[in-house]
């Protein structure tokens, strides 16, 4: 029988090994893809690398016709921005409404959360069926937009519910007692206090929409978004260009997350100082 | 007192945009899918009489039923793997790691891939799995095999390997959340009362994190059931799940039959979630 201290160390070591191995397992494919995107002009989609070059990135910038990723990328960015703003606005209104515990707020809560549970492929499929029957044309800025917000809104909603749960209600009460009307109290006191939550909702809206593939598959018309074009190209032939565009869009996603977190930190810092000054 | 009076009529106005959006882009389409699944015609026709013919077609062909079984089986497999793996990772990061700095880094390394494109992550698996892929080259180098193994790409093993890397996070997150709310003093108290570590885990820690486990399992279940991209990218044309069948039928214009698959898929998902929710009272999640 080994003593408990050794056993404890063994357990910790084993769990640590599992964690580290999993993280490596999760990251290695992405890092490999990034590495392979710098292969030389004669390089193929797998090892060994044939030299190091920016050839495939230049290829991305050069290509004009079929495999041009630039217009789809532009569409995806615009769509993501629209989803970001819409998610933040709708989630703010919905979370504020929930605070009033109106009749039917419980079903409303579950209705919004259904967007997380619903399988993306089938939501897109459903919208495609509806538009077919009603004779509405599919387009990335209408149907795809609608389907993406169904996915991003619940995330923003939960973020804002958490923000409303955390903030000090007494600050709001003080504003009302001091004679501010509800509208003014909301925009001058409540809104600045939950602003970090609004930014969080905006982040969900942006990145989830920017990377979305399953929901776009059926709901987008002939002008396709970036993930759709990437998949179509992948279906035809696996080339290092795909690794290059993959690396580029991963960097775009990560930079966006970093920017939003920076904004979040700044705003939260300011909110805290404001709240401390007033109490 | 708050900026919105309790049961104020304004609250309805505020809730309306979100509610309408979800109704128009989620509930109505679902109802339409169910309606179309009863169309008796093969292709698109609004005047179609309603019948169960497409459902009968599904259950009379063993290939389709097998696809359903395969999909459920794959979900169960993924749930089992991610349950164990996810719990170990969550337990290590939350309980075993003491330095907050290290905890934060591990957590970030775990979560950041969630913010990137799942499609790109799937494609990134391809250079790993092929006959000349990284796994084979490593195995050859280590002398484990003397000929490249073709069992990774275009195979269920490859699909499973990739899915585990995507979905373990979904099982880890909720467990980590509930685990953080279990006060260490509970474990210490049990230990003082001479409970063995294994006893402490199964009698105290695990039951308290059960809501997190169930939420994680629901998320993994729903995602694997609806996954089609991993199967079509890594499985080639050899492997398919129900989601792939929906795409195939949609592309060939068989809208009613595609709807039948969609309805069956949704029913399976609802059933699975209902079973999982039976195991735990979800409303306790915040308190646990």
Question: pLDDT digits over A178-191, tens only?
Answer: 888 888 888 888 89
Nearest to B1 among A129, A173, A218 (CB): A173
Q: Which residues of A touch B7 (CB under 8 A)?
A: 100-103
Say how far apart CA A112 and CA A109 lie, in whole Å: 5
- Confidence at residue B25, expressed as pLDDT on a 0 to 100 scale: 92
Contacts across the A-B interface (CB distance below 8 Å): 271
The answer to whether residues B249 and A99 touch, using CB atoms and an 8 Å cutoff, is no
Q: What is the 3-state secondary structure (H, E, C) of B58-114?
A: HHHCHHHHHHHHHHHHHHHHHHHHHHHHHHHHHHHHHHHCCCHHHHHHHHHHHHHHH
- Confidence at residue B54, expressed as pLDDT on a 0 to 100 scale: 84
Q: What is the pTM of this model?
A: 0.88
| Dihedral angle sign, alpha carbons of residues A85, A87, A90, A95 | negative
**Cα separation of the two ends of chain A:** 59
**Helix H or strand E encompassing B19:** helix B9-22
More confident residue, A149 or B233: A149
- Give the mean model confidence (pLDDT) for residues A140-166: 92
- Give the mean model confidence (pLDDT) for residues B174-200: 84
Test B2 with A172 for CB contact under 8 angstroms: yes
pLDDT in tens, A5-42: 888 888 899 999 999 999 998 998 888 888 888 887 77
CA closest to B244 among chain A residues: A121
Q: Which residues of B touch A99 (CB under 8 A)?
A: 2, 4, 11
How close, in Å, is residue B61 to chain A by CA atoms?
A: 23
pLDDT, chain B, mean: 86
Instruction: Determine the 3-state secondary structure of A50 from DSSP.
Output: coil
The rounded Cα B140 to chain-centroid distance in angstroms is 34
Q: Name the band, by pLDDT with cuts 50, 70 and 90, for residue A155.
A: very high
Q: Please state the CATH superfamily assignment of the domain spanning residues B61-285 in this structure.
A: MetI-like (1.10.3720.10)
Instruction: Determine the 3-state secondary structure of A178 from DSSP.
Output: coil
What six digits make up the tokens of B27?
A: 């509930």
Q: Name the band, by pLDDT with cuts 50, 70 and 90, for residue A1.
A: low
Say how far apart CA A197 and CA A44 lie, in whole Å: 45
Virtual torsion, Cα A125, A127, A128, A134, nearest 10 deg: 150
Residue B1 has pLDDT above 90, yes or no: no
pLDDT in tens, B216-255: 999 999 999 999 989 888 887 778 899 999 999 888 888 8
Which is nearest to B25 in space by CA: A124, A95, A154? A124
Q: Which residues of B touch A172 (CB under 8 A)?
A: 1-3
Nearest to A207 among B4, B44, B115 (CB): B115
pLDDT in tens, A101-147: 888 888 999 999 999 888 989 999 999 999 988 888 888 899 999 99
Range from A67-71, A192-196, B177-181 carrying the lowest mean pLDDT: A67-71
What secondary structure letter does DSSP report for A144? I
What six digits make up the tokens of B168?
A: 């373990």
pLDDT in tens, B105-122: 999 899 888 888 888 998
- Residue A39 sits at φ, ψ, to 5 deg, of -65, 160
Q: Which CATH class is domain A56-278?
A: mainly alpha
More confident residue, B13 or B40: B13
**Residue whose tokens read 């709310």:** B181
- Confidence at residue A2, expressed as pLDDT on a 0 to 100 scale: 66
**Cα separation of the two ends of chain B:** 29
Residue B170 has pLDDT above 60, yes or no: yes
Test B22 with A153 for CB contact under 8 angstroms: yes
| Ranges of each domain in chain B | 61-285
Virtual torsion, Cα B31, B35, B36, B37, nearest 10 deg: 100
The predicted complex's ipTM stands at 0.88
234-253 in B: which are within 8 Å (CB) of A? Answer: 243, 246-247, 250
b (16+ CB within 10 A) / e for A82-107? bbbebbbbbbbbbbbbbbbebeebee
- Confidence at residue A190, expressed as pLDDT on a 0 to 100 scale: 87
- Confidence at residue B287, expressed as pLDDT on a 0 to 100 scale: 41
Nearest to A254 among B2, B116, B243 (CB): B116
% of chain A residues with pLDDT over 70: 97
What six digits make up the tokens of A166?
A: 């955390």
Neighbours of A141 (CB within 10 A): 14
How close, in Å, is residue A123 to chain B by CA atoms?
A: 6
- Confidence at residue A64, expressed as pLDDT on a 0 to 100 scale: 65
Which is nearest to A162 in space by CA: A101, A80, A118, A99? A99
More confident residue, A3 or B260: B260
Say how far apart CA A75 and CA A221 lie, in whole Å: 12
- Confidence at residue B192, expressed as pLDDT on a 0 to 100 scale: 81
pLDDT in tens, A58-98: 878 777 666 678 888 899 999 999 999 999 999 999 999 98
49-78 in B: which are within 8 Å (CB) of A? Answer: none
| Ranges of each domain in chain A | 56-278
- Give the mean model confidence (pLDDT) for residues B154-183: 90
% of chain B residues with pLDDT over 70: 96
- Confidence at residue A150, expressed as pLDDT on a 0 to 100 scale: 95
Test A214 with B246 for CB contact under 8 angstroms: no
Q: Name the band, by pLDDT with cuts 50, 70 and 90, for residue B260.
A: very high
Nearest to A26 among B32, B165, B259 (CB): B165
CA closest to B122 among chain A residues: A29
Which is nearest to A128 in space by CA: A114, A142, A111, A149? A142
On the CB side of A214, CA atoms within 13 Å amount to 26
Q: Which residues of B touch A213 (CB under 8 A)?
A: 117-119, 229
How close, in Å, is residue B215 to chain A by CA atoms?
A: 11
- Confidence at residue B283, expressed as pLDDT on a 0 to 100 scale: 55
Q: Which residues of B touch A217 (CB under 8 A)?
A: 247
The answer to whether residues A86 and A212 touch, using CB atoms and an 8 Å cutoff, is no
pLDDT, chain A, mean: 87
Q: Name the band, by pLDDT with cuts 50, 70 and 90, for residue B288.
A: very low
How close, in Å, is residue B60 to chain A by CA atoms?
A: 24
What six digits make up the tokens of B204?
A: 């105290």
167-196 in B: which are within 8 Å (CB) of A? Answer: 168
Residue B7 has pLDDT above 80, yes or no: no
Neighbours of A159 (CB within 10 A): 24
- Give the mean model confidence (pLDDT) for residues A209-235: 89
């Amino acid at each position: 029988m080994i003593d408990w201290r050794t056993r404890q160390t063994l357990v910790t070591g084993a769990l640590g090994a599992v964690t580290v191995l999993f993280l490596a397992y999760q990251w290695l494919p992405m890092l490999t893809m990034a590495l392979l995107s710098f292969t030389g002009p004669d390089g193929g989609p797998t090892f060994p690398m044939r030299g190091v070059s920016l050839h495939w990135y230049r290829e991305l910038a050069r290509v004009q016709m079929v495999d041009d990723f630039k217009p789809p990328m532009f569409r995806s960015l615009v769509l993501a921005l629209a989803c970001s703003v819409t998610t933040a606005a709708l989630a703010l209104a919905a979370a504020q409404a929930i605070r009033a515990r109106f009749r039917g707020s419980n079903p409303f809560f579950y209705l919004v959360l259904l967007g997380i549970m619903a399988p993306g492929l089938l939501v897109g499929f459903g919208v495609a069926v509806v538009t077919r029957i009603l004779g509405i044309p599919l387009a990335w800025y209408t149907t795809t937009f609608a389907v993406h917000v169904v996915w991003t809104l619940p995330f923003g909603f939960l973020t804002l519910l958490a923000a409303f749960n955390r903030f000090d209600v007494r600050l709001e009460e003080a504003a009302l007692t001091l004679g501010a009307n509800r509208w003014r109290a909301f925009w001058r006191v409540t809104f600045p206090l939950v602003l970090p939550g609004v930014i969080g909702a905006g982040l969900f809206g942006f990145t989830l929409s920017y990377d979305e593939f399953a929901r776009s598959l059926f709901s987008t018309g002939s002008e396709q978004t970036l993930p759709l074009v990437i998949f179509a190209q992948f279906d035809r032939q696996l080339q290092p260009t795909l690794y290059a565009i993959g690396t580029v869009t991963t960097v775009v996603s990560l930079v966006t997350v970093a920017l939003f977190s920076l904004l979040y930190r700044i705003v939260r810092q300011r909110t805290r100082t404001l709240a401390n000054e007033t109490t | 007192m708050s900026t919105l009076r309790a049961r104020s009529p304004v609250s309805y106005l505020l809730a309306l945009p979100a509610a309408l959006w979800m109704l128009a882009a989620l509930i109505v389409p679902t109802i339409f899918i169910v309606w179309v699944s009863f169309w008796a015609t093969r292709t698109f026709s609004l005047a179609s009489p309603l019948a169960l013919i497409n459902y009968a077609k599904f259950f009379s062909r063993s290939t389709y039923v097998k696809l359903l079984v395969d999909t459920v089986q794959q979900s169960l497999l993924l749930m089992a793997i991610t349950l164990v793996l996810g719990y170990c990772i969550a337990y290590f990061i939350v309980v075993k790691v003491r330095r907050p700095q290290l905890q934060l880094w591990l957590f970030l390394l775990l979560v950041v891939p969630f913010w990137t494109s799942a499609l790109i992550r799937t494609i990134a698996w391809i250079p790993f799995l092929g006959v000349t892929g990284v796994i084979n080259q490593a195995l050859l180098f280590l002398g484990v095999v003397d000929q490249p193994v073709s069992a990774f790409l275009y195979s269920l093993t490859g699909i499973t390997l990739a899915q585990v890397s995507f979905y373990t996070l979904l099982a880890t997150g909720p467990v980590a959340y509930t685990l953080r709310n279990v006060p260490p003093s509970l474990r210490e108290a049990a230990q003082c009362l001479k409970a063995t570590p294994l006893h402490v885990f199964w009698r105290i820690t695990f039951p308290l994190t059960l809501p997190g486990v169930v939420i994680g399992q629901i998320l993994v279940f729903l995602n694997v059931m609806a996954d089609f991209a991993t199967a079509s990218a890594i499985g080639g044309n050899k492997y398919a799940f129900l989601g792939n069948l929906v795409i195939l039928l949609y592309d060939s214009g068989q809208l009613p039959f595609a709807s039948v698959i969609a309805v069956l898929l949704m029913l399976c998902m609802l059933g699975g979630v209902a079973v999982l929710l039976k195991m735990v009272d979800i409303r306790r999640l915040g308190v646990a």
